[in-house]
Structure 1
């Protein structure tokens, strides 16, 4: 019999809400803020091919997620899957790095809202400039805008998963409408032309290097789809539907990214566009590109669209970060406060407040810090992807001739092969980010902060090691998976 208390989350999330949580989180602000940065790194077609190839690899990884969600519909996602496949030490490792990824993305979205405000109201936002970080002016107005957004979405998430899911779906529909209007404008107005996207790749590097540069960012670009397993315990539907929701969210996200890249690059010869942005020291190159053919009306449309992207990112990753820390608290690897539920709304409010408190630091570092943490979030997420696909690989068997390890093993050579591809893809993402000679290697600042996070994790694990490992295997199975036997 279980002796430790195991609190549960309420089942209130409908399928289209969960799709919106995944899609909206994957798109976030990146599709509207980063196109000119990415085009400069790889050329328009290099970006599109890298993004779409990344979507395919994420779908392959999604096969493993779909299987594990169906078998183990509990919150915690990769933390739970790493525990199933590799034990509690590796579960902490996966959970710790994934927490880094989620926190980075919440902070990124809040900071992107301040960037949008600086583009729309430059004189107002420059009021009260405090200092410069890596060439970027940081003002008290920017800090206030990002901080208010973080606080408001923390309150929104504390009020309940169903409230968050409903608003997420509405935000996502407005976001899709915004991209559609921008695309129609590019097709039917004078100026934008498909000929402007040449040369297809960055001239001073090979096509393969261009594609790999963008492919390395796929864990960051599509990270929202793994919000689905974090919310699995709150599904108001059968877990077997999760795989379809993963595939459709990734497909929609890949098309949305590609559309914004092509729209931006088509406004004028893209090398001229980048030169103009650099010469004018533009705050938001994509916004300038849209304004060049749609005027202020275009700025209004993309401002609404990017606001929706930011809101869906904030909302979705507040959900995921709080559920992950709740699952780790329930397993007694985080302090007891993280497993508390709100007395009225029954949400893991401590994890929400923790996320808010950590992310309130980010606005003080300016836009350049956004680019530093993109790389860090990709690293954390790629590690989590590896543990998920590796665990699924251990469950699948090549044939019935291979002995079953337990009664949940599945004979499926096709899925076992896809989970193997997913494992190799995750390792490949990490190699692209961590190897110094890679075209997508982390910058110095990202390495420094990543090392600090690793050291904090080691100290934290040592401090909690005794309590975490004193719990019996059956008890830990129950706390993480709600069953005493795996």
Structure 2
């Protein structure tokens, strides 16, 4: 088999499908499961401001993504962009961390489905309790539910990108309808009141600290819009439309998160709500809040919405993880099997099955242990954002008066400034996550998980680096970007 062989993915994705992949992945289960956790950390207004500021910063970062997608419409996303701007070693670093982030989110979405079952059918789920991990009871029923979801969505993704895109769009519409119904219920039923969102911020810390706590998790909250570059090779439309799809997906996600925060906090005085959740040791605080004013009908609506969020997350990140590993396999930093396409459906099925296999391990460790890994995966996402914005920064010039060897770059001072702000924002996210005295610092378990993943990456790179680095630059350009010259 020639080293020059470069398998390509079929162009089958329509614009509204791609928007749904980004929006549905960014929302996932988080908008329905995490509101009470976030409100406890920052207060309702602190969460909303932090979430919307996060969306704005993601839009700034999205400018760099839009430019690079239009210029290099290939699968691989940040792996390809880090290669363009910084070379092979940094490309591997970006791809390695991002792979972890995507796989973790697939696993966490599957575990959220088990959590929903535990809330709706507590007696059934507890019948198979086997052991406890970090205070979380692990039952065979939960493991079975999460595992079935993982297997089902792996099968759906193997059947083709267009099939995944269609289902993603339908799931996203149902999700939006669910949030709308919950909001209408909160407005027109007795009980919920806007006065319940006071105090607006966590009284135990400053308003700024509350906002920064939420802002730091923006890379995790909005990870999903960067699924768009992973699917760029499969666009059945002009790549220049990608920037608009990024902006609209981020705007919709920010509004959806904010709506669920305000709906939850308005059901009763939020500090009373959190006390009640702690006293009853509630499995799902947001579900309790909705049930308090809409009864079992409300639980049914939010359960459907959560299912749609979980399904869009599973679907979107299966797409991204498999495309990223396919691109890395095509560059020969992963084993050759990762660049194989399904003989019938022409999908990167090995990456899909690999993601499924890793994620099937996760339900056995319980949800709390998985949260430690996902917390540190935000670090990997922020690293990927940095490489994208830094590469875009290199492509732009401030003015005509720059050095002669910059003559092939685009004069775009506005875009260069936005890419610079994106770089600073990405580094800011890393500082908030990694500095021990930061209000949003990772926990000890997350630091340990991050260190283990780095060590595995170093070993993996050393084992594969000889072939990866022996390929000539022009050939590597072709394998990653489908062009010999950048």
Q: TM-score, length-normalised on structure 2?
A: 0.99
Give the structure 1 partner of residue 26 of structure 2: 26
Report the Cα distance in structure 1 between the residues aligned to 2:278 and 2:440, rounded to whole angstroms.
22
Deviations 1:348-405 (A, max 9, x none): 0000000001111111122212431331221110000000000000000001111364
SS of aligned partner of 1:138: strand
SS of aligned partner of 2:130: strand
Report the Cα distance in structure 1 between the residues aligned to 2:400 and 2:361, rounded to whole angstroms.
54
Query: What are structure 1's unaligned runs of at least 5 residues?
Result: none
2:267 matches 1:267: yes
**Compared CA separation, residues 259 and 146, structure 1 to 2 (3 A):** same
**Compared CA separation, residues 191 and 408, structure 1 to 2 (3 A):** farther
Query: How many matched pairs?
Result: 485
Report the Cα distance in structure 1 between the residues aligned to 2:313 and 2:178, rounded to whole angstroms.
16
2:218 matches 1:229: no
Deviations 1:272-307 (A, max 9, x none): 000000000000000000000000000000000000
Report the Cα distance in structure 2 between the residues aligned to 1:338 and 1:163, rounded to whole angstroms.
21
Contact in 2 for aligned 1:212/1:440 (Cα 8 Å): yes
Report the Cα distance in structure 1 between the residues aligned to 2:387 and 2:468, rounded to whole angstroms.
20
Report the Cα distance in structure 1 between the residues aligned to 2:407 and 2:172, rounded to whole angstroms.
40
Contact in 2 for aligned 1:115/1:283 (Cα 8 Å): yes
Alignment of 1:458-473 (within 5 A): 458-473=458-473
2:174 matches 1:206: no
Report the Cα distance in structure 1 between the residues aligned to 2:417 and 2:455, rounded to whole angstroms.
35
Report the Cα distance in structure 2 between the residues aligned to 1:95 and 1:110, rounded to whole angstroms.
23
Give the structure 2 partner of residue 250 of structure 1: 250
2:83 matches 1:101: no
Deviation of the 1:133 alpha carbon? 1.1
Report the Cα distance in structure 1 between the residues aligned to 2:80 and 2:423, rounded to whole angstroms.
17
Alignment of 1:323-338 (within 5 A): 323-338=323-338
Give the structure 1 partner of residue 343 of structure 2: 343
SS of aligned partner of 2:400: coil
Report the Cα distance in structure 2 between the residues aligned to 1:265 and 1:147, rounded to whole angstroms.
33
Moved more, 165-174 or 3-12: 3-12
SS of aligned partner of 1:75: coil
Contact in 2 for aligned 1:322/1:350 (Cα 8 Å): yes
Give the structure 2 partner of residue 436 of structure 1: 436
Contact in 1 for aligned 2:31/2:257 (Cα 8 Å): yes
2:172 matches 1:172: yes
Report the Cα distance in structure 1 between the residues aligned to 2:188 and 2:127, rounded to whole angstroms.
39
Alignment of 1:45-64 (within 5 A): 45-64=45-64
Report the Cα distance in structure 1 between the residues aligned to 2:31 and 2:215, rounded to whole angstroms.
15
Give the structure 1 partner of residue 311 of structure 2: 311
2:81 matches 1:78: no
Give the structure 2 partner of residue 276 of structure 1: 276
Contact in 2 for aligned 1:104/1:376 (Cα 8 Å): no
Contact in 1 for aligned 2:342/2:349 (Cα 8 Å): yes
Give the structure 2 partner of residue 154 of structure 1: 154
2:195 matches 1:195: yes
Deviation of the 1:408 alpha carbon? 5.1
Query: What are structure 2's unaligned runs of at least 5 residues?
Result: none
Alignment of 1:61-140 (within 5 A): 61-140=61-140
Give the structure 1 partner of residue 389 of structure 2: 389
Moved more, 60-69 or 133-142: 133-142
Deviations 1:187-228 (A, max 9, x none): 000000000000000001000000000001000000000000
SS of aligned partner of 1:225: coil
SS of aligned partner of 1:202: coil
SS of aligned partner of 2:392: helix
Give the structure 2 partner of residue 366 of structure 1: 366
Moved more, 404-413 or 120-129: 404-413
SS of aligned partner of 1:237: coil
